[in-house]
Amino acid sequence: MSLPQVLLRTFSFSIALFLALILPIRARTAPQKKGEAQLRTVHGSVLDKDDNPVPSSVVYLRNLKSQAVKTYIADDSGRYRFSGLDPNVDYEIHAEHNDSASPLRTISNYDSRRDIEIMLKLSRKKPAT
């Protein structure tokens, strides 16, 4: 085999090896395409009528497509958080504590924010069930 053939094969092998190593890394770090959905987070606080935090309130989040309900018990500062929410679905959220409840709020799939903050104010008597 002549020297130019050896150099050509070595060069071709080097290029193939480089592409085999670089392409998988580039595919993992590629930015999301415009049409791809990104998961959302909803968080906030549960407050009483005087804007004081209400610890141990139960926050209900209903997926309006599947009707599945997730709950979260507010922490000592009245804070709650739901993450990993589908941006293509509408949700309803409200809080309850003892005999009080917050108004029902809707989170629309048309809201393009990925991080949504909603303060839930306990202001009415919970309906009897």
The residue range of the domain holding 58 is 40-125
pLDDT given at position 91: 98
- Dihedral sign, Cα of residue 13, residue 18, residue 21, residue 24: negative
Residue-wise pLDDT tens digits, 30-59: 455 554 458 999 999 999 999 999 999 999
Tens of pLDDT, residue by residue over 56-75, are 999 999 999 999 999 999 99
pLDDT band at 115 (very low <50, low <70, confident <90, very high): very high
119: in domain: yes
The answer to whether residue 83 is domain-embedded is yes
40-47 and 120-121 as β-strands: parallel, antiparallel, unpaired? parallel
Could you tell me if residue 12 is inside a domain? no
Q: Is 72 within the bounds of a domain?
A: yes
Please state the φ and ψ torsions of residue 96, each to the nearest 5 degrees.
Answer: -135, 145
Domain containing 77 — which CATH number? 2.60.40.1120
94 occurs within a structural domain = yes
CA 95 to chain centre: 19
Residue 124 confidence (pLDDT):
73
pLDDT tens per residue, range 80-110: 999 999 999 999 999 999 999 999 999 999 9
pLDDT at position 128: 60
Task: Report the chain's C-alpha Rg in angstroms.
Answer: 26
Residue 73 to residue 106: CA distance in whole angstroms: 19
In a domain, 32, yes or no: no
Question: What SS3 class is residue 23?
Answer: helix
Amino acid at 120: L
Q: Residue 126: which pLDDT band, with cuts at 50, 70 and 90?
A: low
Is residue 95 one of the residues assigned to a domain? Answer: yes
How many domains in the chain?
A: 1
Q: Does residue 25 form part of some domain?
A: no
